[in-house]
Amino acid sequence: MDDANEFLALERAIAPFAEGFSVRSGNDGHLSGVYLHRNAGDQEIGVFAGLLIDEAPYPHLTRVATPEAFVMAYVTPLDGSARDELVDDEDGIFQTAHETLMPLASPEPFEFFEDEPGALLRRRRLPEGAARLIDRRLLEFCRGSLALLGQVDLLDTLREYEIE
**Residue 156 pLDDT greater than 50, yes or no:** yes
Q: What is the pLDDT of residue 2?
A: 55
Q: What is the pLDDT of residue 9?
A: 92
Q: What is the pLDDT of residue 88?
A: 92
Residue 5 sits at φ, ψ, to 5 deg, of -70, -35
Kindly report, residue by residue over 3-61, the tens digit of the pLDDT. Answer: 678 899 999 999 999 999 999 999 999 999 999 999 999 999 999 999 999 999 999 99
* Greatest distance between any 2 Cα atoms in the chain: 45
For residue 1, what pLDDT band results from cuts at 50, 70 and 90? Answer: very low
Contacts of 24 (CB under 8 A, 6+ apart): 34, 35, 37
**Residue 147 pLDDT greater than 90, yes or no:** yes
Q: What is the pLDDT of residue 106?
A: 74
Q: What is the pTM of this model?
A: 0.94
Contacts of 46 (CB under 8 A, 6+ apart): 21, 35, 36, 37, 38, 73, 74, 158
Average pLDDT along the chain: 92
| Between 79 and 127, residue with greater pLDDT | 79
Mean local confidence (pLDDT), 77-106: 91
